[in-house]
């Protein structure tokens, strides 16, 4: 799809018309005969009239994104080559709908199912510097989301720690970022034993990825992003049931989101310094696998009693958070991203991220950024009672709690243990286990990966620079 911005009334094969529910004006009789009620995700293509009517029920941004996505999906069912739309809604929202709704993952299809490229024209009143900037930046953001979707959707045999590191190197070259890759020897030198334990049964060696963006002007803020990059998670010796293993290529969603954010940050030209740190690991079984009852020593010296090898992401993140705080000084914000717990999905549903941390004001800022960007998020408050459930009788902390309840929060509290006192109020944990990968399409998100975390974080960055 080629998305274009214009002020002219372009002659195209089809004109896209957004129609508010119960406010049908043109072609009213014909549309009524077709039982078109202009409900959400409802569309009617009238070839003779050269019109594609798409319904929407509310005027909020995300409803409009879904309506635009519905339009491009309908067009993709046809051989129509061009379409135009004139609308009073936000340009950024229109771009999101087209670019995110148009996404398809056909890498493994033996037969090419992609349609011919379509030319889409968004007609606006005038094109000034601000309009052009919004248009270009929003396309960059959507491209990053779609790149993240590609990473996550790629089969685990084709995307492992080395692959993730190579993608980071590509991004660093394209976006002129500094890139450092730590192999297992370097991880051992830095005493990142928890991360090493998770990956040691895999034939694919673990990697730590550290990308750095520094603006040309003095940075207003210094931000660290940490991503869980489990390129595949079998559960280890605490083996997952087969039904729960089939989507575990998505366990790299947190790390992939960090890659996508770093890919875009330079293009947005924001005056913030950003460090993207990813623990790229594969959790497998074998004679060298770490075991329940093992005691691991994390980078900061914390001893961890392992009671479940499927609670591996928090072990990787623990070492990565320690690394981040040791390597980056004077941090303003730390955000970590992970498909960490099924409990978060149970608690808030498939489409919503769980936001946790010690600073309630900061938590709410991240939630607001999520909603402003089109993502769904909610806070899950910590409490001192759940922290007690992580107590170990033989080590400093246990990697799972002694209760099945509050699992998303106890996982967040485990990570909080590895945040230094001076950073406790600067840290936010983002559990994207729900929205990162859903096995049916929803709104403008297709089956599979959604790219959760990218838009909310970039919106958060923008809010810091206002």
Active site (catalytic) residues: 240, 314
> What are the angstrom distances between the C-alpha of 223 and each of 230, 275, 322, 329, 408?
22, 6, 15, 10, 24
Distance (Å, whole) CA 412 – CA 52: 47
**What count of other Cβ atoms lies within 10 Å of the Cβ of residue 28?**
10
Backbone angles phi, psi at 446, to 5 degrees: -85, 180
Q: Give the DSSP H/E element, type plus range, for residue 457.
A: helix 454-464
Collapsing DSSP states into helix, strand and coil, what is residue 100? helix
Cβ-based neighbour number of residue 126 at 10 Å = 6
Helix residue spans in 227-312 (DSSP H) = 242-245, 253-268
Tell me the β-bridge partners of 304.
Answer: 296, 397
In whole angstroms, give the CA distance from residue 466 to residue 271: 10
**How many Å apart are CA 310 and CA 400, to the nearest integer?**
10
Spatial separation of the C-alpha atoms in residues 151 and 104, rounded to whole Å: 13
> What are the backbone angles phi and psi of residue 14, rounded to the nearest 5°?
-140, 145
Give 53's strand partners. Answer: 17, 44
**Closest listed residue to residue 229, CA positions, set 276, 174, 292, 296:** 276
First to last CA, the chain: 32
Supply 368's token pair: 């607001």
Q: What is the DSSP letter of 239?
A: P
């Amino acid at each position: 799809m080629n998305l274009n911005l214009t002020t002219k009334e372009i002659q195209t094969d089809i004109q896209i018309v957004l129609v508010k529910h119960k406010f049908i004006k043109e072609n009213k009789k014909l549309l009524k005969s077709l039982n078109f009620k202009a409900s959400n995700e409802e569309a009617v293509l009238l070839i003779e009239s050269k019109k594609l009517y798409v319904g929407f029920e509310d005027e909020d941004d995300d409803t409009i994104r879904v309506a635009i996505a519905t339009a491009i999906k309908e067009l993709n069912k046809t051989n129509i080559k061009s379409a135009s739309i004139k609308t009073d809604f936000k340009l950024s929202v229109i771009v999101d709908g087209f670019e995110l709704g148009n996404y398809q993952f056909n890498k493994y299809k033996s037969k090419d199912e992609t349609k011919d490229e379509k030319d889409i024209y968004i007609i606006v009143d005038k094109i000034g510097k601000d309009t052009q900037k919004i248009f270009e930046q929003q396309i960059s953001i959507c491209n990053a989301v779609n790149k993240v979707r590609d990473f996550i959707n790629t089969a685990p045999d084709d995307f492992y720690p080395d692959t993730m590191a190579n993608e980071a190197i590509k991004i660093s070259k394209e976006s002129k970022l500094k890139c450092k890759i730590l192999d297992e020897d370097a991880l051992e030198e830095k005493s990142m034993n928890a991360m090493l334990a998770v990956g040691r049964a895999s034939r694919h060696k673990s990697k730590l990825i550290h990308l750095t963006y520094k603006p040309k002007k003095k940075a207003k803020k210094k931000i660290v992003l940490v991503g869980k990059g489990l390129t595949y998670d079998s559960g280890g010796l605490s083996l997952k049931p087969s039904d729960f293993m089939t989507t575990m290529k998505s366990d790299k969603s947190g790390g992939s989101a960090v890659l996508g954010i770093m890919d875009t940050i330079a293009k947005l030209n924001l005056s913030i310094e950003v460090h993207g740190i990813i623990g790229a690991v594969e959790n497998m079984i074998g004679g060298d696998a770490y075991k329940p009852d093992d005691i691991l020593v994390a980078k900061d010296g914390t001893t961890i009693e392992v009671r479940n090898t499927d609670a591996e992401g928090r072990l990787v993140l623990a070492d990565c958070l320690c690394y981040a705080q040791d390597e980056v000084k004077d941090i303003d914000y730390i955000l970590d991203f992970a498909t960490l717990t099924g409990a978060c999905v149970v608690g808030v549903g498939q489409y919503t991220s769980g936001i946790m941390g010690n600073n309630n004001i900061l938590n709410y800022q991240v939630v607001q950024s999520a909603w402003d960007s089109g993502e769904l998020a909610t806070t899950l408050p910590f409490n001192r009672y759940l922290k007690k459930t992580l107590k170990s009788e033989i080590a400093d902390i246990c990697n799972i709690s002694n209760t099945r309840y509050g699992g998303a929060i106890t996982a967040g509290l485990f990570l909080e243990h590895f945040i230094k006192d001076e950073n406790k109020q600067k840290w936010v944990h983002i559990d994207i286990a729900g929205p990162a990968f859903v096995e049916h399409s929803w709104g403008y998100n297709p089956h599979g990966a959604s790219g959760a975390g990218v838009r909310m974080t970039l919106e958060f960055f923008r809010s810091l620079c206002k």
